[in-house]
Each structure stands twice: as C-alpha cells, then as structure tokens.
Amino acid sequence: MNTKNMFDDEKLYDLADLFRIFGDTTRIKILYTLRNRELCVNDLAQSLNMTQSAVSHQLKILRQSKLVRNRREGKSLFYSLNDHHVVTIIDQGMEHICE
C-alpha cells in the first residue's frame, strides 16, 4: 500500500505543529495552570512568576493553535482551555511520563 494514500500530508503537518506547541515548557505551565480554572493574564503571570508580556505572548500562540480561548469582562480578558481535548492531551502526556 502506498504510504502517501494512508496519510494526509496537511493533517500530519498540523499534528506535528500541535506537538511543537506542546514542546515549550512555558506553554505547558500555562496550560497546566489553566487546567482547572479560568484566569486573567495578570493572575497567570503572578502564578507563574513571569511578566505579563511574556504570558501574553505565549497565550497568543496558544490561542492561535486553538488550545485556549478567552472571554472579555470589562477591560480584562480571562483565559481557559479551549475544550476537553486539551485536558486529555495533558493528562495522557503526564500519564505516559509517569509510567
């Protein structure tokens, strides 16, 4: 069987890109912090002992990758994980490294 027929190259590229996003410790810390609660940039920055600018930069990448979403409340943006799939990826990754 021809391997090219088995795989959609564009989907494989997207999958590799997704794992690249998970390959950054700072982004993993942000995702893990948002795992159980919604937070604003300021609270995330304080929780992770980072600057708001650094957190905002990573949140932009996570938002573009559809891993987090935001909602506006007044002038503040609150961030949360986009859906249960993100939690599953985090949980399965953690389970794998703890085996």
Q: Write out pLDDT tens, residues 19-74.
A: 999 999 999 999 999 998 999 999 999 999 999 999 999 999 999 999 999 999 99
Q: CA nearest 67: which of 26, 25, 34? A: 34
Beta-ladder partners of 98: none
pTM of the entire structure?
A: 0.87
Contact (CB, 8 A) for 40 and 55: no
C-alpha distance from residue 49 to each of 30, 42, 67 (Å):
11, 10, 22
Asked whether the predicted pLDDT for residue 3 surpasses 60, the reply is no
| Coil/strand/helix, residue 31 | helix
